[in-house]
Amino acid sequence: MISVIIPLFNAEKTIVAALDSVKIQTFGIANFEIIIINDGSTDDSLEILNIYKEKDSRIIIINQKNLGISIARNNGIKKAQGEY
């Protein structure tokens, strides 16, 4: 399994393109998870993420207050189940 970790903050204008791009990847295997860490977004990013999560069980959303990209990325790594 591969874990794709995406930290985001106020990314409503770009998250759809990013998720669509990741979802069509094969990585040579079919088994992967997409972990998205919402780092305290104040725009509609979370609503968009929830719509995608309803349609794709590979998507995992972590919500946290704004702690910065490093902590967001590390929290995603802690949740990751993939070998890579």
pLDDT in tens, the chain (84 residues): 899 999 999 999 999 999 999 988 866 666 889 999 999 999 999 999 999 999 999 999 999 999 999 999 999 999 999 888
Rounded alpha-carbon distances, angstroms, from residue 83 to 3, 4, 70, 76: 7, 11, 20, 14
Greatest alpha-carbon span in the chain: 36
The pLDDT value recorded for residue 44 is 96
Quick one: pLDDT at residue 76?
96
**pLDDT, position 29:** 62
Question: Which pLDDT score is estimated for 31?
Answer: 83
